[in-house]
Amino acid sequence: MKKNMGSIDRAVRVVVALVLIALYATGTLTGVWGIVGLVLAGVFVLTSLVSTCPLYLPFGIRTNRIHKMLNK
């Protein structure tokens, strides 16, 4: 898969994932919402590691500058 995420996008996802994990760990998010938050955190970390967001592909969204400059 082509990388379509920039470094800022990846960093924001990791921060949001850490916040969701912290909310679950402190008991702020519990039950179904806690599980949803953990799953979302896992997806955010995974997509940050591979630098590809599958939801960006159908819409042609790219947040990385290298691909933006190459496609012009």
pLDDT of residue 66: 66
Mean residue pLDDT of the chain comes to 90
Q: DSSP characters for 7-55? A: HHHHHHHHHHHHHHHHHHHTTSS-HHHHHHHHHHHHHHHHHHHHT--TT
The model's pTM: 0.83
pLDDT of residue 57: 87
List pLDDT tens digits, range 30-60: 999 999 999 999 999 999 999 999 998 888 8
Give the position of tokens 């898969």. 1
pLDDT of residue 2: 83
* Domain positions in the chain: 7-70
